[in-house]
């Protein structure tokens, strides 16, 4: 299964202090194809530099580059516009998630996220999946 990794999964893979670090890396090691995009990479840097992880920019960037250097990594170009987002968003908090779901769908990949609430949104069903809880955990 081809997947676009969101920020939550990137953080889990990169930082050993994340509670799902081991499981996330086990999943990542089994992947033949996973992707990032500009928003997931920049979001990873933002979250990594937050008080939750406290990384300096160089440290966060090095952690990101370690993931991006994996042979299974692909970069998705992003030309998503607001017009392409689902019309039934109910919260400002959904905009970035809807962007990731829309981008993944347009590239015929799944959105791999640790956000179970997102996975259950009507507009994300069938696209957003938690790979640590779903059929994605089998690899491919």
Q: Where does 6-82 show beta strands of DSSP type E? A: 34-36, 73-75
Would the pLDDT of 10 be above 60? yes
Q: From residue 88, how far is each of 18, 113, 134 by CA, in Å?
A: 32, 21, 25
Q: What is the rounded average pLDDT of the residues 59-88?
A: 96
Give the model confidence (pLDDT) of 83-101 as tens digits.
999 999 989 999 999 999 9
Q: How far apart are CA 11 and CA 17, in angstroms?
A: 10
Structural domain spans, the chain:
3-138
Instruction: State the architecture of 3-138 in CATH terms.
Output: 3-Layer(aba) Sandwich (3.40)
Average pLDDT over the chain, rounded to whole?
Answer: 94
Tokens 């516009």, residue located:
81
User: What is the reported pLDDT for 140?
Assistant: 45
């Amino acid at each position: 299964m081809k997947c676009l990794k969101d920020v939550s999964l990137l953080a889990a893979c990169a930082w050993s202090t994340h509670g799902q670090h081991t499981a996330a890396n086990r999943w990542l090691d089994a992947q033949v194809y996973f992707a990032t995009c500009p928003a997931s990479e920049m979001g990873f840097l933002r979250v990594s530099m937050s008080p939750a992880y406290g990384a300096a920019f160089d440290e966060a960037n090095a952690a990101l580059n370690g993931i991006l250097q994996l042979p299974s990594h692909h970069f998705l170009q992003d030309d998503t516009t607001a017009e392409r987002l689902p019309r039934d968003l109910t919260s400002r908090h959904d905009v970035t998630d809807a962007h990731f779901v829309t981008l993944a769908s347009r590239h015929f990949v799944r959105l791999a996220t640790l956000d179970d609430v997102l996975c259950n949104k009507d507009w994300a069903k069938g696209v957003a999946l938690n790979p640590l809880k779903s059929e994605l955990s089998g690899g491919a």
